[in-house]
Structure formats: C-alpha cells, structure tokens
C-alpha cells in the first residue's frame, strides 16, 4: 500500500511539473500565414502572449521575417533588423517580456500589412490587465498554471495521500 502511494505521489509531482511548462505555439495569421493583406493587429486581439510562448511564421520565401525596433516597425524601415530569416518557416521563441516587433524585409510589404507587434507578458503574471480573458480556441491558456499554483497543488496532493495511506 505504501509503495503505491509513493508511486501515485511521484506521478502527481511529475504532472504538476510538466503541465505549467506547456507553452503556447501561435501560428501567425493562422491559416493565412505571413503574407500581405492580413491585418495582424486583428490577429493579436484577444491573445495573451507570455514568455516561453513561440510564434511560427509560415510563408513563401518571397517574404522574410525580421525582428526590428519599435521605430523601424512604425516607419516600416527595412535593412536594420535585430534578427532575420527567410527559410519559409520561422519559429521565434518569445524569451523576454515587452513588445516584440516583426516586419517583412521586402520593400513595400510592411506597408502592405506585413507588420506584427506582440506584447509579451512575463510568465509569472496570471492576470492580464488590459486584455480581456475570453476563451480563445487557438490558445491553450487553460493549461498555463503558474508554477507556484502547481507547487502548492503538489504538496496538498502529497499531504492528502499521506493522510489516506
Ligand atoms: Cu513580404
């Protein structure tokens, strides 16, 4: 009996450690991908981006993905990127909080809508202040338990198991 309790406790512990680390992967523009004529500010509406999430840009190689400064984003200035890629499938890990700016490096494309600003929140914040927390089918936000909650849950579970056995 004691052995099965320990096994159960270990299983719960593993679950509680794994679940919060599941990060959301966002496909930019969803089925439209990364292209001209899409309003990416509409696409970001209602989405809460957190540190650890990532963006996937899918596009024909006639486009590029460049992370740029906020001023280059505003003015659609190409040729001065922080990072650039033209592989056709670019995954960008959102590693830091703050707003990240992406444009297409092909002249004229940024002006035609290929500009994306993503506001990234630190992973520890659970209550987004401005974004409405409507249920979004595209994001698995229900999985993003904070590590602290997981930690407490784990120890409560262990305590209960200890009492029962
Ligand atoms: Cu382009």
CATH no. for residue 91? Answer: 2.60.40.420
In a domain, 39, yes or no: yes
Burial class (CB in 10 A: 0-12, 13-18, 19+), 87: exposed
Rounded CA gap, 82 and 65, in Å? 11
69 C-alpha vs ligand 1 centroid, how far in Å?
18
Asked whether residue 29 is assigned to any structural domain, the reply reads yes
Q: Which two tokens stand for residue 154?
A: 């784990």
What's the pLDDT tens digit per position in 61-94?
A: 999 999 999 999 999 999 999 999 999 999 999 9
Measured in Å, residue 126 CA sits from the centre of ligand 1 at 35
Contact present, 51 and 121 (Cβ < 8 Å): yes
The rounded Å distance from CA 100 to ligand 1 centre is: 18
Is residue 16 included in any domain, yes or no? no
Compute, in angstroms, the gap from residue 154 CA to the centroid of ligand 1: 47
In a domain, 3, yes or no: no
- As a whole number of angstroms, the distance between CA 130 and CA 109 comes to 30
Does a structural domain hold residue 85? yes
pLDDT of residue 136: 41
Q: Which one-letter DSSP state was computed for residue 132? A: -
In a domain, 54, yes or no: yes
Task: Please tell me the predicted confidence (pLDDT) of residue 14.
Answer: 55
Which parts of the chain sit beneath pLDDT 70?
A: 1-21, 124-161, 163-164
User: 85 CA distance to ligand 1 centroid (A)?
Assistant: 12
Distance 49 CA to ligand 1 centre (A): 23
Domain tally for the chain? 1
- Give me ligand 1 centre to Cα 150, in Å: 42
Q: Give residue 13 CA to ligand 1 midpoint distance, Å.
A: 46
Structural domain including 49 reads: 24-164
pLDDT at 134: 38
Q: Are 107 and 64 in contact (CB under 8 A)?
A: no
Nearest C-alpha neighbor of 67 from the set 43, 38, 103, 112? 103
pLDDT confidence of residue 74:
98
Detail the DSSP E strand segments found in the chain: 25-27, 49-50, 54-58, 65-68, 83-85, 89-93, 98-103, 115-121
How remote is the CA of residue 108 from the centroid of ligand 1, in Å?
A: 8
Q: How far is the CA of 51 from the centre of ligand 1 (A)?
A: 26
Distances (CA, A) of 145 to 56, 86, 89: 23, 35, 29
């Amino acid at each position: 009996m004691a052995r099965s309790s320990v096994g159960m406790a270990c299983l719960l512990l593993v679950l509680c450690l794994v679940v919060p680390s599941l990060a959301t992967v966002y496909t930019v523009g969803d089925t439209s991908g990364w292209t001209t004529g899409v309003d990416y500010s509409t696409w970001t509406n209602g989405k809460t981006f957190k540190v650890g999430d990532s963006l996937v840009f899918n596009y024909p190689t006639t486009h590029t993905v460049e992370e740029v400064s906020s001023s280059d984003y505003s003015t659609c200035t190409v040729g001065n990127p922080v990072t650039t890629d033209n592989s056709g499938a670019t995954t960008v890990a959102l590693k830091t909080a703050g707003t990240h700016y992406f444009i297409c490096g092909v002249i004229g494309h940024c002006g035609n809508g290929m500009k994306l600003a993503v506001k990234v929140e630190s992973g520890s914040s659970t209550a987004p202040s401005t974004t409405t927390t409507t249920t979004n089918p595209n994001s698995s936000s229900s999985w993003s338990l904070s590590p602290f909650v997981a930690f407490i849950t784990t120890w409560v579970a262990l305590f209960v198991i200890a009492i029962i056995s």
